[in-house]
Structure 1
Amino acid sequence: MTLRMTVQTSQGPAANSAATAAAAAATGTFDHEDDLPRVPLPTLEDSCGRFLQWCAPLLSPEQLAATEAELARFRAPDGPGPRLHAELARYDVSDGVHSWLDEFWPARYLGRRDRIALNANFIFLFRAAAEAAGEGDGSTPATPATAAGPQLERAAGLIAAALDYKVRLDAERIPPLLRRGQPQSMVQNRYLFSTTRIPGLVQDTVRVPYSAEWPGPSDARHILVFHGGRMFRLDVLGPDGSPHTLDELTAGLAAVRAAGPAQASDETAVGHLTTKARAAWAESRAALLALDPANKAALDEVETALFCVCLEAVTPSDELAACDQLLHGSAAGRWYDKAVSLIVFPDGQAGINVEHCGLDGTTILSFVDELLAAPAAELSARSGARPHGQPAVRPVEFVLDDALRADIRAAAESFAAFGAGTDSVTLSFPDHGASRAKALRISPDAFVQMAYQLAHHRAKGFAGATYESIATRQWRYGRTEAMRVVTPEVLAFVATMNDPAADADARRAALRDAAAAHVRRAGECQRGEAPEQHLWELAFIQRRAGAELGVPEPSPLYETPGWLVMRDDYLSTSSAPSESIRYFGFGSTSGHCIGVAYVLLPDTLNIYLSTPRPAAAGMHAFADRLREALRELDELLAGDPAATG
């Protein structure tokens, strides 16, 4: 999973509106973009030095020596490093280039060849409807007293809220986000609507507005609605571009539900193909296009739709089941390549599944904050919704032959097995929110990350590579930076905590040292001083232009223990701090990795863990040890007179 955000925080609509109120009246959504500072390009020497520091805690002396030797050859004056870095520096100052990472992101996200469903997409489980509207404690979903019932009412409300956001975004009236008074890049907001990932044999592409092929905002007037294994086009904007009213949207959804009361056959649900590995899906898409011209028209309707709304048939038994369904529900009711899919259960619970190539979690959190900022009727009125009559509804259908039906059926079976091969857990800690950590005078994120490290070591007996993403949207076209959590101070902290001879003072000192090192490293990432993406982009440059640059072969640096071990995650972690959501989730990154998606709020910590079933015992042991670690570290710091005095 590649979504991760920790340093940039979102504490719900109230905090966002307070932070942006001063800029809202005079500043358009994208007004700051050209004035944001460029992502600094580290020197080769700095990145090589930091890389060695970052990987060293995970290596044996022999592994470290081998890595040092290869790194020296890489960065030597006659080595490949200086030539590759010189090409990156040339690119960074080229006309039209916003950042030296401009080509990195497509290579990283669109170049991956495995399936993106569960492997890359991420999800949020929203607050319940009553709580989102500020009308209750959120313990149960709102159940409007209408014939439509909670599912259609909630879905219509979310559609109306999303249309309000689009109307304001198109007019550039979404205030730029500020963090500590500093504007953040808003470029990703352009990818919220009508954005669809298109599979390719070698690398994917994206069909997106605000592009040369589709200048300006999306002019599409429809969304894609899934129900009963079928897809429907639902017009949600009138001919003049104003939204349909809430009642009309609800009526349109009711028409969808009435049109497909029975579950369609899996072998006709083309969405299953979006769960395939990317090159295989590209071949299937080519077969669809070659079979019949009607399939091109159907794909156009799917790919240009503003977003998806998925009406689920089964109410999840609990929050874990809801998260699992959001993350890897049957693609008979999904198109996993769409940027945004709003998913609504029969009882009105709702969430979102996000395709990650153009959207990071901070962008989606601010979007969700706005969707849930006020009652749907209020947002609909603000959007300029007016009566247009019953919205047009029609099925989106594909012409299929026996080969494509068999392909769809095989894809459905494969993804069902893949999802069943994933285990997950939800954890909630009402006594370990950010406010409690601050009262103990420790960084909230550092506190939970140290708990993860202690729990992992106690569960598995060793320190494993740990990934955490740091948001960097303060830079022009900024996204995230890769942070590696294991430091020498972390190893010392874990060893001290596990040493029966260590007293409380020694343990507290080790914890605070490790937390301080964590904060320092996060600061390096925010300042653009992290090594991993820099060195990774040099590897991409070699693939693209190595022969012309005199570097025809990949560097052995990328096969060293340092590079491989540092990036072989045992914990893949990311935080989504917004009061608009209950849980955040994503899949693991390897057969032994635990995905740790956490919502760290002032008064609670909610976590969704996921891992492949062969590694499930380790995940459950980690969860058990985490409960103990959080309590133990809290008690340790609470016993420090300096912490609360």
Structure 2
Amino acid sequence: MSEPTFAHDDQLPRVPLPTLEDSCTRFLHWCAPLLTSDDYAATAAAVELMLRPDSPARTLHADLQRFDSEPDVDSWLDEFWPSRYLGRRDRIALNANFFFLFRDDTVLAESTAADQADRAAALVTAAVNYKLLLDAEEIPAVTSRGQRLNMAQNKFLFSETRIPGDPQDSVRVPYSADWPGPSRARHIVVCYRGNMFRMDVIGPAGTPYTPGDIADGLRAIKKAGARRVPVNASAGHLTTMARADWAAIRTTLRAAPVNATALDTIETALFFICLEDFAPRDALHACDQLLHGDSGNRWFDKAVSFIVFADGQAGINVEHCGLDGTTILSFVDALLENPVGDHASRSGAQPQGMPGIEPVVFALDTDHKREVATAAASFAQYAADTATATVSFDTFGTTRAKQLGISPDAFAQLSYQLAHQRSKGMIGATYESIATRHFRNGRTEAMRVVTPEILDFIAAMEDPAVDADGRRQALRAAADAHVARAKECQRGEAPEQHLWELQLIQRRRGEQLGATEPMPFYDSPGWRISRDDYLSTSSAPSVNIRYFGFGSTSPKCIGIAYVMLPDRWNLYLATPKSVAAQMHTFADNLQAAVDELAELLASRA
């Protein structure tokens, strides 16, 4: 028998807390390629002020050291993550939630008929099995390159719901002081045509329902919810609002007992199943629907929502505050890589007849209906103002990259930079998410991709006077620099989150610490320019995933979510519609850049 799921979490190494000098020095080095000489000088002067012995930054860093040494603190980032995710005030739908589109030929899918109810029932059965195994701590700890990874995020998979608040959101979740231990909920919430239904998936005695029973329940829900709910009566639209606005409405909603009951049912549900009444036109349409879809048929505050289309295609939408992509990938892989019968057998599912089903009912007054309708219209326009595209390489993947003697991730990032230069005529700030779950409470690190070597590489590729050998040499040097920087991030040596947390500490308790003096560094060109993303990138390597995606992060940013596997490479791009033409030009240039760089490497491989 494997060791308990969470047995080694408190034995993992701690995230190292850099010194203020190290972070400032590294930050200057990282931002330099994006700055003019005047901007660099201004940033360097601001850094000097940060490093003064009497600087507020010294007091704030000392407080961070104090926090890191507290006995019940696992990481100096333990306050940072709630501030970063729960502190955002704009809408999370499309802006923060992310999705995966599953392959149609996974073991789980092929063990069922290509029927919506059967496919959805298989997902429910697999997820319930995973939940019961997790409760018993029988999910094996994930490892990467021989290192155990932190499993704490798995506690946020079931019955976790983000609660809107002002000035910051909160989370309703098991394994907390308010809700000790695993979730005791036995139900999920199913959405269909804007209707919401509570459905039991675990019987009164703790025995899961069989896939057949669950499928029968889902068919009954589709029949009961055949009439689409009017737009102004679908409360799910409210979860697309800016957080403080949604928080105020939620407070008024809960004043009515029927609404308090509905919210409790939603917030304690193990997860959501969103059934759609159409089949996607193509992969792009499926991805877009997973990212935003009909917001009346969603509850974007829920940690996990499975979306199943009329033809049985399926995917997942994830609320990001407690869950990162790597956790969801291992969860999804565990679900999709086994037949539904195996999941049912292992969970001890028994025939019990059709599960208990009841509508989730809200009593909305005239003001609430107006707010729901306004939220729906606003989000529909926001989604319409987002341009998306898919890009696929059927003959290039990690195998080909390794044959060419280059890191697959480095190859991808250099391709993005070359395509961006050719589509927009410039190099811009680029973010890449680097997983750090090998640390206690580790999540991700913010890697800034643009290095001096990347500038040299772009210059060589765009200079007709540079021959193939010169371009290849610049390409190799840039790839090596990229790998070296990724390793810095993996070691917990990146500067941005450390410096950002000092800024957040000043906001939280600067007055208490006597550290209220403004710090010019946070208005410096380096801080502003290096974090103003033109490209925001993240990868999700799983053979069970077709596409991964998220929204753009700024008015000019292209979000790039990519799945690179041995034999293929799929990307989902998102950007504001106002710059859609640039995104499509980028996609065209990316196709050409990949071919060009592969050919360049192959000629001397």
Query: Smaller-chain TM-score range?
Result: over 0.9
Question: Aligned to 1:233, what secondary structure does the other structure show?
Answer: strand
Find 2:451's aligned residue among 487, 505, 514: 487
Letter of the 1:262 partner, please give it.
R
Matched, 1:99 2:75: yes
C-alpha contact (below 8 Å) 2:112/2:340 kept by paired residues: no
| CA distance in structure 2 between the aligned counterparts of 1:131 and 1:384, rounded to whole angstroms | 23
Alignment gaps of 5+ in structure 2: none
Letter of the 1:192 partner, please give it.
L
| CA distance in structure 1 between the aligned counterparts of 2:517 and 2:201, rounded to whole angstroms | 53
| CA distance in structure 2 between the aligned counterparts of 1:554 and 1:589, rounded to whole angstroms | 27
| CA distance in structure 2 between the aligned counterparts of 1:108 and 1:173, rounded to whole angstroms | 31
| CA distance in structure 2 between the aligned counterparts of 1:605 and 1:485, rounded to whole angstroms | 20
Runs of 4+ in 1 over 4 A off after TM superposition: none
Letter of the 2:352 partner, please give it.
H
Deviations 1:16-54 (A, max 9, x none): xxxxxxxxx231100111110111000110000000011
- TM superposition shift of 1:294: 1.3
Question: Aligned to 1:338, what secondary structure does the other structure show?
Answer: coil
Letter of the 1:264 partner, please give it.
V
Work out the number of aligned pairs and report it.
Answer: 605
Residue number in structure 1 paired with 2:224: 259
Residue number in structure 1 paired with 2:190: 225
C-alpha contact (below 8 Å) 1:59/1:562 kept by paired residues: yes
User: Under a length normalisation based on structure 1, what TM-score does the superposition of the two structures give?
Assistant: 0.93
Matches within 5 A, 1:137-536: 144=113, 150-290=115-255, 292-536=256-500
C-alpha contact (below 8 Å) 2:2/2:138 kept by paired residues: no
Alignment gaps of 5+ in structure 1: 1-24, 136-141
C-alpha contact (below 8 Å) 1:542/1:554 kept by paired residues: no
The percentage of aligned residue pairs carrying the same residue is 62
C-alpha contact (below 8 Å) 2:398/2:564 kept by paired residues: yes
Residue number in structure 2 paired with 1:126: 102
Bigger shift: residues 428-437 or 100-109: 428-437
C-alpha contact (below 8 Å) 2:386/2:577 kept by paired residues: yes
Letter of the 1:393 partner, please give it.
I
Matches within 5 A, 1:594-609: 594-609=558-573
- TM superposition shift of 1:297: 0.8
User: Under a length normalisation based on structure 2, what TM-score does the superposition of the two structures give?
Assistant: 0.99
Deviations 1:79-135 (A, max 9, x none): 12211111100110012000000000000000000000000000000010x333485
C-alpha contact (below 8 Å) 1:539/1:554 kept by paired residues: no
Question: Aligned to 2:6, what secondary structure does the other structure show?
Answer: coil
C-alpha contact (below 8 Å) 1:51/1:531 kept by paired residues: yes
Question: Aligned to 1:546, what secondary structure does the other structure show?
Answer: helix
**RMSD value over aligned CA atoms?**
1.0
Matched, 1:88 2:53: no
| CA distance in structure 2 between the aligned counterparts of 1:54 and 1:153, rounded to whole angstroms | 51
Residue number in structure 1 paired with 2:585: 621
- TM superposition shift of 1:548: 2.1
| CA distance in structure 2 between the aligned counterparts of 1:101 and 1:127, rounded to whole angstroms | 35
| CA distance in structure 1 between the aligned counterparts of 2:234 and 2:2, rounded to whole angstroms | 47
| CA distance in structure 1 between the aligned counterparts of 2:497 and 2:206, rounded to whole angstroms | 42
- TM superposition shift of 1:553: 3.6
- TM superposition shift of 1:389: 2.2
C-alpha contact (below 8 Å) 2:2/2:140 kept by paired residues: no
Question: Aligned to 2:116, what secondary structure does the other structure show?
Answer: helix
Q: Mark the CA change 1:134 to 1:401 in structure 2 (over 3 Å): closer, same or farther.
A: closer
| CA distance in structure 1 between the aligned counterparts of 2:507 and 2:537, rounded to whole angstroms | 29
- TM superposition shift of 1:143: 7.1
Letter of the 1:275 partner, please give it.
T
Residue number in structure 2 paired with 1:13: none
C-alpha contact (below 8 Å) 1:42/1:534 kept by paired residues: yes
